[in-house]
Amino acid sequence: MLYMSTRGRAEPKDFAGVLLAGLGSDGGLYMPESWPRFSAAELRALRGLPYAELAARVIAPFVGDCIAFADLQAMCRRAYAGFAHPAIVPLVQLDSAIFALELFHGPTLAFKDLALQLAGHLFDHVLAQRDERVCIVGATSGDTGSAAIEAMAGRDRVDITILHPEGRTSEVQRRQMTTVTAPNVLNVAVKGNFDDCQDLVKAMFADAPFRREMNLSAVNSINFARIAAQIPYYVAAALALGAPDREVAVSVPTGNFGNVLAAWAARQMGVPVQKFIVASNRNDILCRFLNANDMSVRGVEPSLSPSMDIQVSSNFERLLFELLDRDAAATEATMADFRATGRMAVPDGKWQEIRREFSGFRLSDEGTLAEIARTWRDAAYLADPHTAVAVAAAREQGPVGLPVIVAATAHPAKFPDAIEQAVGFRPALPPHLSDLYERKEQYERAPNELAAIETLVRNFANRNR
């Protein structure tokens, strides 16, 4: 299997190349040259398999011959062995039509663990094949750093440095990162804000000698390996609800469009998903696009569902590429125009095509709290704020007569303040995190200066080489 860039000017790569490169050298996103397809009989044969086994079989066609199937199976087993639920991704029925697909039983209580835990093993494997070592650097506002750290902690061939803005993450978020004390993990609290941290990461990548010396890498949500690892849970849930012999719909709380794109990829592979409901908070660029062909950038406003507080959904470029019949030149021109004007021009006919399958939904913070309370009252189910937005979206826009799979992307205990506001009590952390406040923290502090950060990263990485 080869991958090509949505902008058409980066060299095609195989799965291992895409895993290590992330973004194409032309700024585009890698896409498989064609979508693997399972027949109805092949899908039925996946029913009832243990999750890790199903995941290996769904991901295998994307990996191609980069990794032997037995190795991929072993990596899937190891990646999901630490999850706190034996089903890995249990499906919980909330009412006659709505099912919560719980994607938060991994080490950091959010759906990113599903992809990143596997990515950690994939990195080790591919780097061992090449006899290389990489240093991953990233910045976090608090939310996503811990998933990357948990995924890479203890890996043989990866060092990881995550910058966070000192004093600007919640204590739970900071502790989820800083209590991971594996020798290949470096946490740095930067005197500055999240944008400063992101600028420092960009500057490290732009410093070509430093980038080469450290063999810098990243694990962004645009990495196709992460998309591939998010497809199996939609396959598993749809099969449990009667696919391929019955259609389903999905409702996904959406930020960067990676999770909903994986559901769409499952459909390309043969899973009968009839409708994709894109759920957002007040940062509603995708909702405005889907309802009125208005993809125009506005400022980001904070909300109760911070992982959906985005201005531009980077993975949307992949759907755009497909919509434009895989015309890379047209995709590149559309993206360049979008960058220049802040507004994406999608031809009306193409927009109508998207609208047949996708719908947009937006919910305010007040609506989110009301939905958390309602779901608790009616179904005795505690939904985190992200999940609650998607549950409300499913109620409003779920097609009559079809089961709706709601991606439950975070554990309610990750957002205790919002839950308390909605239902009057704070949810307990699950057992594997209950001693988080007693664990020892370890992190460096640094000024907002590139040279100081590079010295820290170099000294840290050289200790492990």
Ligand X SMILES: *Cc1c(COP(=O)(O)O)cnc(C)c1O
Q: How far is the CB of 191 from ligand X (least distance, A)?
A: 26
The values of phi and psi at residue 83, to 5°, are -75, 150
Site membership for ligand X, residue 308 (CB under 6 A): yes
Distance of closest approach, residue 394 Cβ to ligand X, in angstroms: 15
Q: Whole-number minimum distance, CB 135 to ligand X, in Å?
A: 24
If binding is defined by CB under 6 A, does position 30 make contact with ligand X? no
Distance CA 106, CA 51 (A): 13
* Residue choice 108, 173, 179, 256 for contact with ligand X (CB under 6 A): 256
Catalytic positions, written as ranges = 112
Task: Please identify, using beta-carbon distances, which residue of 54 and 262 lies nearer to ligand X.
Answer: 262
Would you say 66 or 136 has its CB closer to ligand X? 136
Given 108, 141, 251, 254, the residue binding ligand X (CB under 6 A): 254
What is residue 29's DSSP assignment? B
Query: Which tokens hold the place of 357?
Result: 């399958």
Residue 412 in the binding site for ligand X (CB under 6 A): no
Does 409 sit near ligand X (CB under 6 A)?
A: yes
Closest CA relative to residue 35, chosen from 249, 262, 317: 262
Which positions ≥6 away from 313 have C-beta within 8 Å?
Answer: 254, 255, 256, 257, 285, 286
**How far apart are CB 224 and ligand X at their closest, in Å?**
13
Between residues 2 and 429, which has the closer beta carbon with respect to ligand X? Answer: 429
199 by Cβ neighbours in 10 Å (0-12 / 13-18 / 19+) ranks as middle
Q: Give least dist CB 188 to ligand X, A.
A: 22
Closest CA to 109 of 58, 147, 154, 71: 147
Tokens standing for 136? 């991953």
Residue 93 Cβ vs ligand X, minimum distance, rounded to whole Å: 21
Q: Which of 52, 389, 108 is nearest to 232 (CA)?
A: 52
Can you list the positions of beta strands (E) in 254-310? Answer: 273-280, 295-296
**What is the Cα–Cα distance from 178 to 219, expressed in whole angstroms?**
19
Quick note: the x/- pattern for ligand X over 193-232, rule CB under 6 A, is ----------------------------x-----------
* Per-residue tokens: 285: 């660029």
Helix (H, G, I), strand (E, B) or coil at 72: helix
Stretch that binds ligand X, among 91-99, 108-116, 209-217, 239-247 (CB under 6 A): 108-116
- Amino acid identity at 126: V
Q: How far is the CB of 258 from ligand X (least distance, A)?
A: 3
Stretch that binds ligand X, among 9-17, 128-136, 252-260, 392-400 (CB under 6 A): 252-260
- Is 257 a residue that touches ligand X (CB under 6 A)? yes
179 makes contact with ligand X (CB under 6 A): no
**In the set 258, 360, 398, 412, which binds ligand X (CB under 6 A)?**
258
Q: What's the alpha-carbon Rg for the chain, to the nearest Å?
A: 21
DSSP state of 226: H
Tokens of 2: 């080869």
- Which listed range, 22-30, 166-174, 179-187, 255-263, lies at the site for ligand X (CB under 6 A)? 255-263
CA 104, CA 99: separation in Å to the nearest integer? 15
Which residue type occupies 43?
L
Judged by DSSP in three states, 62 sits in helix
Which tokens belong to 367? 């609506």
Does 110 sit near ligand X (CB under 6 A)?
yes
Q: Which is nearer to ligand X, 66 or 407 (CB)?
A: 407
Please say which residue, 141 or 254, places its beta carbon nearer to ligand X: 254
Contact residue for ligand X among 146, 307, 359, 368 (CB under 6 A): 307
The SS3 call for residue 70 is helix
Q: Applying CB under 6 A, does 259 fall inside the site for ligand X?
A: yes
Which candidate, 395, 250, 282, 335, places its Cα nearest to that of 9? Answer: 335
Residues 372-391 close enough to bind ligand X by CB under 6 A: 386
Closest by CA position to 59, among listed 326, 262, 256 = 262
Give the interface segment with ligand X, choosing from 127-135, 251-259, 425-433, 453-461 (CB under 6 A): 251-259
Nearer to ligand X, 119 or 446 (CB): 119
Nearer to ligand X, 221 or 251 (CB): 221
- Decide if residue 318 touches ligand X (CB under 6 A): no
- Closer residue to ligand X in complex, CB, 73/303: 303
* Interface of this chain with ligand X, residues 320 to 359, rule: CB under 6 A: none
Query: Which tokens is 213 given?
Result: 């010396």
CB nearer to ligand X: give 21 or 115.
115
Q: Total binding residues for ligand X by CB under 6 A? A: 17
In terms of Cβ atoms closer than 10 Å to its own Cβ (0-12, 13-18, 19+), residue 8 is middle
Asked whether the beta carbons of 419 and 426 are under 8 A apart, the reply is yes
Q: Which stretch binds ligand X (CB under 6 A): 62-70, 131-139, 248-256, 364-372?
A: 248-256
Q: Which stretch binds ligand X (CB under 6 A): 106-114, 167-175, 295-303, 429-437?
A: 106-114
Task: Return residues touching ligand X (CB under 6 A).
Answer: 110-112, 143, 221, 253-259, 307-308, 386, 409-410
